[in-house]
Structure 1
Amino acid sequence: MPATRYFTFFIALTLAAICSFSSCIHAQALQIVPISQQLAPGQRSASFTVTNQSESEAIIQIRSFGWGQTPQGDVFQNTDQLVISPPFARIAPGQSQTVRVMLREHTGDAERAYRIVFDQLPGNLNGKVEMALRLTVPVFASASQTAKPDVQWRIESSAGVPTLIAVNHGLQHGSLLGLELSEANGHNLKLLNQGLPYVLAGAERHWPIAAAQQQLGNGVRVRLRTSGPGGPKEQWLVVGGGM
C-alpha cells in the first residue's frame, strides 16, 4: 500500500480527545494505559497495556499511522516506521494484553507524530452483534534533546468566519490544555472543531469561532488562555493583527 496514501479518520469514537490527559482510557469495557507515549531521542520501543473489563472475549486489531495536521484537520498516512506487536489480540474477560511499539531509525531534527489505532472487532454474543469500537492514542518520537514547541497565535477571518490560528514553528508538539478564548468583557468564545489538544511540530491548526456578543472585526482585542506544560499562559490577540 503506497506510503503517500492519505485519509482522514471520520468521527470514530476517539475517546483520547475526551479524556486526553487522564492516566488511562476507558471505553465500554476496555482500558488502555498509558494514553500516550513520548519516545526520547534514542528510545526505540514502548508499550501499552490493554485490559478487557467485560464479561466476554474482546478481539482487538492494532495498527499504526503517521499523523500530520493541516488547517482542515488531522491527516493520517500509512507507515512502516512504527511496528506493532501483536497486530491482533484476543483478550479474555478480566485479562490484559501488552502491546509493544517499535520505532525504526529516526532521521531529521523534528519530532515525528504517530497514532496507534485500537479497533475492537465486532463479535457475536448470545445472538447479538456487538458494536465495533475504535480508540486512538498518540505516540511522539523526538530526535533532539533540545527540541521544543514554538506556537504563535493569530485571529483572522477565513471565508467570513473569525478563526483562531496556531502555527508551531518549533521541533516538538505543543500541548494546548485548557485552551480558552474570551472577549475583552470576559465573555467566553466557543471554539469549534477542537479535537485533540495538540499542535504538531511544523503544523498549523485552525479553530472557527462561534458567534460572539460583538462582531470580531479587525482591531478587536481577544484574550487567549492555555494551561499546558509550564503553567497557565495568557496573551492578548488583535483580530487581523497577524502573529
Structure 2
Amino acid sequence: MSNLLRSPRHLSLILSSALFGAIAPINAYSATNMLIWPIDPALGANDNATELWLENKGSTAATMQIRVLGWKQVAGEENYRSQQDVVASPPIVNIGAGKKQLIRLIRQSPTPAGQEQAFRILIDEVPAAEHSAGSQAGVSLLMRYSLPLFVYGDGVNFQRNAAEPVHLSQSQLSWKITTNNGHPAIEVTNRGAVHARLSKVSINGRTIADGLLGYVLAGSYRTWALPTGVTHGETLKAEVNSDSKVWQSGPAQ
C-alpha cells in the first residue's frame, strides 16, 4: 500500500489480522480469500473513472461493500470522512466462488488545478445471512481491506505506468523525534504538493519499518510510535514513493 497506478498488479489479500496494519478486523463471519487489483489506483486530471477488480479465490460466494472515504491527516493522525467527490459503482456486490467483479471508481466533482486529493477505498466483507443471524457478538470475524486512491487536478505531473508516477522532491520532507501520548514518536512533515509513501525506514541504522511505514499526505504531517529504546535520532533513511534514491536526512532544526 509507489502506490499510484502503474502496470496492473495483484495483491492476494488473505484473511489475517495483520492486513494493512492500521485496519483491524471487525465482528462477523469470513472464509474468503479475495484478490484485489490494482492496489494503487489513481485518477489523472483527464480521467472520469478508473477500474478496480475483485476476484473471489475462496470456495463460497462473498458479498462485498465498497466505499470511498475522504482522507486527510489532522494533528498527525489519520482522518476519514464521508464524501461524494469519488464513488464506487456498484457499491455492493456478490461474487461467486472463482468469479471476479469490476468496480468503477467514478469522479463526480472536479479536482482543483495543481492539487492531489487523497481518498481511502474501504472494501468490507458483508457476513452471510445464515452466519450473521445466529452468531453471537464477538464470535464472528469480518475482514476490511483498505486501499489508497489519489486523484489529480490539472498541472500535477502525473504519469500513468511510469516507474515514478509523481515526483516529490526530498527537500520537501523533514522529520523530528517527538512524543505522542507520552511515548517517543517520529513526526514526518510533507510540504510538497503530492503524497509521500515511506517504506524501509531506519533511524540511526535501527529498522523502524521493513516494508511500508505509511503515507504523509500533501501539506500534512504524520506521527508514528517508535520502538522501545529509540528516543533520539541523528540520521533517517527511507524510500519515498518509487524513487530509487534513498531519502537520507538529519532531523529538522
Q: Same fold (TM over 0.5)?
A: yes
What is the CA distance between 1:128 and its match in structure 2?
Answer: 7.8
* Contact 2:70 2:120 survives alignment (8 Å): yes
The letter of the residue matching 1:223 is T
Q: Distance in 2 between matches of 1:155 and 1:63?
A: 34
Match of 2:156 among 145, 164, 167: 145
Alpha-carbon spacing, 1:73–1:157, altered in 2? closer, same or farther (3 Å): closer
Match of 1:176 among 198, 201, 220: 198
Corresponding position of 2:227: 210
Match of 1:26 among 13, 28, 31: 13
* Contact 1:153 1:164 survives alignment (8 Å): no
Secondary structure class of the residue paired with 1:176: strand
Indicate whether 1:73 and 2:83 are aligned. Answer: no
TM (norm. structure 2) is 0.72
* Contact 1:223 1:234 survives alignment (8 Å): no
Secondary structure class of the residue paired with 1:231: coil
What is the CA distance between 1:189 and its match in structure 2?
Answer: 5.4
TM (norm. structure 1) is 0.75
Match of 2:44 among 32, 35, 40: 40
The letter of the residue matching 2:185 is T
Alpha-carbon spacing, 1:98–1:112, altered in 2? closer, same or farther (3 Å): same
Gaps of 5+ in 2: 16-32, 158-165
Corresponding position of 2:246: 233
* Contact 1:148 1:170 survives alignment (8 Å): no
Indicate whether 1:133 and 2:140 are aligned. Answer: no
* Contact 1:149 1:170 survives alignment (8 Å): yes
Secondary structure class of the residue paired with 1:79: coil
Indicate whether 1:154 and 2:171 are aligned. Answer: no
After superposition, the C-alpha distances for 1:125-151 in whole angstroms (9 at most, x for unaligned) are: 6x9866311101111011123374354
Corresponding position of 1:51: 55
Q: What RMSD, in angstroms, separates the aligned Cα atoms of the two structures?
A: 2.7
Count of aligned residue pairs for this structure pair = 209
